[in-house]
Amino acid sequence: MKQDILDRFLKYISIDTKSDEYSETTPSTECQFNLAKVLVEEMAEMGLQDISLDENGYIMGTLPSNTDKKVPVIGFVSHMDTSPDMPGDASTACLIENYQGEHVVLNEDGLTLSPNDFPEMLDYIGQTLIVTDGTTLLGADDKAGIAEIITAVDYLIKHPEIKHGEIRIGFTPDEEIGRGVDKFDVEKFNAEFAYTLDGGGIGELEYENFNAASAKVHIQGRNIHPGYAKNKMMNAILMATEFNAMLPVNERPEFTQDYEGFYHVVKIEGSVEKAYLQYIIRDHDREKFEEKKVFIQQVADFMNLRYGENTFVLELKDQYYNMREKVEPVYHIVETAKEAMEQLGIVPKIIPIRGGTDGSRLSYMGLPCPNIFAGGHNFHGKFEYVPLESMVKASEVIIKIVQLYTERA
């Protein structure tokens, strides 16, 4: 299994699948079809049934039941796209075998992945770390999850002595830009519940996530020759920084943890004439989440009183909600995943996701869907890495969950 999962992962990450938030198509980038076609071909070669790839880039497939028992239909889901924050072709990834706690020099420019900065690296002494050369994302978010699902299903096919019910697998586009399940057909997927393989380090098991919204602020300034600007110029750049300064400093990502929410400015651009701010707003508590949206609207309203009507135009859009409300009524799906980890010698870490997954929205679409670790660390940046052994354990967790539900049927 170890070599299979490594080979698959290295193949998948060599295909650039970066999504594009400014695109209006689904998938947002044509390159996501390049990986989708590889996966469909691989699924067919394995012998899966009911394989489909639709015009929007959604893949589904079925491993039929091999038991007469009445076992719930279980789904496993991961996303194909990688974050638009960096290039997504990680064909230059390399392996650090038998890692011993040293600093890892990623490239000839001296870029270094260090346990001084990322102390959790020391949890993987003796293991194999997969890293980038520092110029691209690794893509473990979420190609590790894809490799783990495919490898687990392939293992079940090759070991028919392991009894299981019907298993559905699905791969989605555009998760990184908040549109991963916009056109996911839950009825067609036809699972009673599912798991996303999209979490971080080994042992993570999550059924709580942020409530999430995006906020876009368009600022109209007035550009006047600086020599004649007194009482006339309205510098949109300075107005943008003034707006940002009115949001609470202690509610930024770098100052929050656990269940604490935040405002996070992800983009600022502009000139004296026009400026633009983009934020993500997050909170686990729905009431506090709504309060945050009200507050940023109040800031925009105040700035319009100060500078004139429609100087600041705020666009607020909800993205997803906390899945806890939908998972708790079927909490056995969390308990079973926890038991699966424990039986495999993995210490479960049931923590709230400080982010979101396709599973959060799927849960509200009628498919309860907690999140299991995929094994990676430092997602969305050049220091991303994944221990190979964590990926193997994730595949084993999938197999064990399937076994547990079959045994109890």
Annotated catalytic sites, by residue? 81, 175
Going by the DSSP 8-state scheme, the letter that residue 20 receives in this structure is: -
User: How far is Cα 140 from Cα 147, in angstroms, rounded to an integer?
Assistant: 9
User: How far is Cα 257 from Cα 260, in angstroms, rounded to an integer?
Assistant: 5
User: How far is Cα 78 from Cα 162, in angstroms, rounded to an integer?
Assistant: 23
Burial of residue 134, with CB atoms counted within 10 A of its CB: 0-12 exposed, 13-18 middle, 19 or more buried = buried
267, 207 contact by CB (below 8 A): no
User: How far is Cα 94 from Cα 91, in angstroms, rounded to an integer?
Assistant: 9
H/E element, 364: helix 358-364
Report the sign of the C-alpha dihedral through residues 80, 86, 92, 93, in that order. negative
User: How far is Cα 5 from Cα 154, in angstroms, rounded to an integer?
Assistant: 10
Angle between helices 286-307 and 236-245 (to 10 degrees): 140
User: How far is Cα 389 from Cα 372, in angstroms, rounded to an integer?
Assistant: 15
The contacts of residue 237 (CB under 8 Å, 6+ apart) are: 221, 270, 271, 272, 275
H/E element, 50: strand 49-53
Task: Count CA atoms within 13 Å of residue 358 on its CB side.
Answer: 33
Written as six digits, the tokens of 256 are: 């929050």
Written as six digits, the tokens of 324 are: 């806890």
Going by the DSSP 8-state scheme, the letter that residue 328 receives in this structure is: G
Q: Which residue has the tokens 């390049």?
A: 34
Sheet containing strand 129-131, edge to edge, reads 94-96, 129-131, 385-387
Residue 31 to residues 10, 46, 183, 199, Cα–Cα distance (Å): 17, 24, 18, 24
Residue among 233, 249, 245 at smallest CA distance from 307: 233
